Structure 1
Amino acid sequence: MSEPRVHGTDVKTAHQDLHSDQGALRGEHPGRSRNPVIKVADLAWLEFEKPDLDRAEVFARDFGFGIAARTERELWLRGTFPGSPCMVIRRGRSSRFIGPAFRAAERADLDRLARATGSDVRDADVPGGGKVVGLLDPSGSPVRVVHCGEQLSALPEQQPLLLNFGTAHRRTNTTQRPPREPSRIQRLGHLVLETRVFERALDWYLDTLGMIVSDFLFLDGQRERGPVMAFIRCDLGSVPADHHTLAMHLGPGTGYVHSAYQVTDLDSIAAGGEYLKERGYQRSWGIGRHIQGSQLFDYWRDPDHFMLEHFADGDLFSCDIEPGWAAFSTSGLAQWGPPATRDFLGASPTPERVRHVIEALRGDNEMDMARLLGLLKAAKS
């Protein structure tokens, strides 16, 4: 379980204003578990269902994925880095997100996880084989933890451009002409989820999968009620890990918000974005640079309205970096770039969104009118 909280005054931590103006106050959530069941090493892949695999494959290639395997019922997508595929899309009656699969550091971790959760270790239906444990998080979303057998080999990379800086002239007698082609995906970076039971879900990922928090966000005037968003990384000890592999925020809905895929550099993001725009896809928000995580970003909608992000140049933290704390606001989502759109924020009052709000306010969860008004205020701030 998470460490006990002690109430009182400010406490000095290893935070040292490294990545946020504020660290934790005494008694606030520590952002890690004292004794987690296992410590996952990374995201392995995400699982979706869609009725039209041909259309899904066209977008996947335009967005920059490689094809790891294709059957009549399944489409496995990959990046250029060696390892596991980063997405599987199975043929289904409707378009929906199923859940994430996290990569276990060792095969024995699956046995330990199965014993602790009363689950079974089963064969994984992934190209190359492997083993998997299936779980449900407190939001009711399926979560799989896998240990793969055969690994995919590396593919050719999209090379970064050689840049000149001030008097450092590394490029002479040649021009810059980034090709107008898809951004070549290197790997799956992170997943963002919405949940009505934020604190329970957060503790589950820390206690069960051994993840640790990089940054917390709280609602203005409601810090004493605890955070409403967390950027969570894998605990790889002294080895630096992505600032967040998973991010979660409190909201009236449950499930997928967006997923992010690393590409080479800013030119890859921009030229790949022009390629997508020319083919009629919808940009949701970008290009810009985030605050939490520092990534260069560009968000797009696929034909099934799922949001996907190209990113580059993200922060890497080792295990000794403590969580930062900041107020949740739309202006605080980016250091530079265009204003966050209503589409990105999910602020359009669609019938489905209205239904989710009504269900959340009537249900047994962490959403109430004060939280809802605080979230609406943050979306406008």
Structure 2
Amino acid sequence: MIGQHDPHTGLHSEQGALRGEHPGRARNPIVKVRGLAWLEFQKPDLDGAEVFAQAFGFTTSLRTQDELQLRGTDAGSPCVLIRRGPRSRFMGPAFMAAEPTDVVRLADATGRTIATLPETLGGVTVDLMDPSGLRVRVVSGTHELPALAAQQALTFNIGHDATRVNATQRPPREPANVQRLGHVVLQTTKYLATLSWYLEHLGLIVSDFLYYRGQRERGPVMSFIRCDCGGTPTDHHTLAMVLGPANRYVHSAYQVADLDALAAGGEYLLERGYQRSWGIGRHIQGSQLFDYWRDPDGFLVEHFSDGDLFDCTLEPGWAPMSASGLAQWGPPATRDFLGIKPGREAFRELRAVIGALRQDNEFDLNRLRGLLKVATS
């Protein structure tokens, strides 16, 4: 309608940096990792975790009394490792080194020692700690699980281009088979220091920056970060990082075959009583089709498909952060997804805000005002 502002205008990556803004990459990183290997969690109820995981679309690759390893259909490492513990918590990510010597180079540069991983995983790791206090593993030489039979994407008749004749579309209502781990999103009270650490230590590069509207001169508050594999295109983001009042896991994302797999898999989860957090829609930064769910322990996990792929030549985009700017289409971002739904999580976040404002970090009163505007935009 005339006079109305389209909130999506100017939010795509064609909007670049201004003079003197963050370059989004380190000049001489120690190493350049080639991707996420897995994520590690601790949970008290492995039975409940496995039931949800299989409904979500994972395959169990290892189950013992105290450990659960979950995989996708792609060849490679397990996507998720869950060990039994007294409470649910995120333990940290593991990145895959591009070369075996990169583990040695990181260990030498940081004064850390190289450790042998359990035989169920194989290989070695150097365990680092980012400025937020999160353990970050860089691994090499791990066992590679063989590929499994994958869920096939459907064949579409698009416009007048008819490629499917005398055949119907009947996607079954079944789990959306996870193909692979795509990315993890982390919140930190030390955003700029933590961002620089990942760029300098792991050679990651920024695809898109977000800033609070009216506070661009103070710098970005969120970044979508990809691996630098030279001319080989990689996911728009393997890691995303956002400034906030607490150092915590936000969500992780797992690729599925296509929109039908994502939607039918969502119906399967709903029928079994699981909670959709937000979806279905298509993101702006990264362009992924998305659908977000809460697992029984409250962790946010995402099915995605059809994400952007960038090579090393693309410079970071810059855009204001807003709730309406999180999706090109789909339902509005929910209170649950934004972390403001009344309940235990919102109360925990409120306590974190009060604590962060009393400490020396990047989350100050002006940043809080910017965050509140995002939640209501």
- With the length of structure 1 as denominator, give the TM-score of the two structures: 0.94
Corresponding residue for residue 7 of structure 2: none
2-side partners of 1:279 and 1:285: how far apart?
17
What letter matches 1:164 in structure 2? N
1:362 corresponds to 2:358: yes
Q: How many angstroms does 1:21 deviate by?
A: 4.2
2-side partners of 1:172 and 1:361: how far apart?
62
Corresponding residue for residue 331 of structure 1: 324
2-side partners of 1:157 and 1:46: how far apart?
22
What letter matches 1:356 in structure 2? A
Corresponding residue for residue 6 of structure 2: none
Corresponding residue for residue 29 of structure 1: 22
1:159 corresponds to 2:155: no
Q: How many angstroms does 1:125 deviate by?
A: 2.4
SS of 1:370's equivalent in the other structure is helix
More deviation, 266-275/171-180 = 171-180
SS of 1:208's equivalent in the other structure is helix
Structure 1 residues 1-381: aligned runs within 5 Å: 19-125=12-118, 127-348=120-341, 350-381=346-377
2-side partners of 1:276 and 1:330: how far apart?
25
Identity of aligned pairs, percent?
Answer: 67
What letter matches 1:284 in structure 2? S
2-side partners of 1:18 and 1:280: how far apart?
36
1-side partners of 2:244 and 2:74: how far apart?
34
SS of 2:291's equivalent in the other structure is strand
1:241-261 deviations in whole A, cap 9, x for unaligned?
A: 000000000011211000000
Q: How many angstroms does 1:126 deviate by?
A: 5.9
Q: Which consecutive residues of structure 1, in runs of 5 or more, have no partner in the other structure?
A: 1-16
1:314-370 deviations in whole A, cap 9, x for unaligned?
A: 000000000000000011100000000010011235321111001100011001111
Q: How many angstroms does 1:276 deviate by?
A: 0.2
Corresponding residue for residue 5 of structure 1: none
What letter matches 1:368 in structure 2? D
SS of 1:76's equivalent in the other structure is strand
Q: Which consecutive residues of structure 2, in runs of 5 or more, have no partner in the other structure?
A: 1-9
What letter matches 2:350 in structure 1? V
Q: How many angstroms does 1:127 deviate by?
A: 2.4
SS of 2:108's equivalent in the other structure is helix
1:161-211 deviations in whole A, cap 9, x for unaligned?
A: 111011111111121100110000000000000000000000000000000
Q: Is the 8 A contact 1:128 1:148 kept in 2?
A: no
Root-mean-square deviation (CA), in Å? 1.2
Return closer, same or farther for 1:267/1:356 CA change in 2, 3 Å cut-off: same
2-side partners of 1:28 and 1:210: how far apart?
19
SS of 2:55's equivalent in the other structure is helix
Divergent runs of 4+, >3 A: none
Query: Aligned pairs, how many?
Result: 365
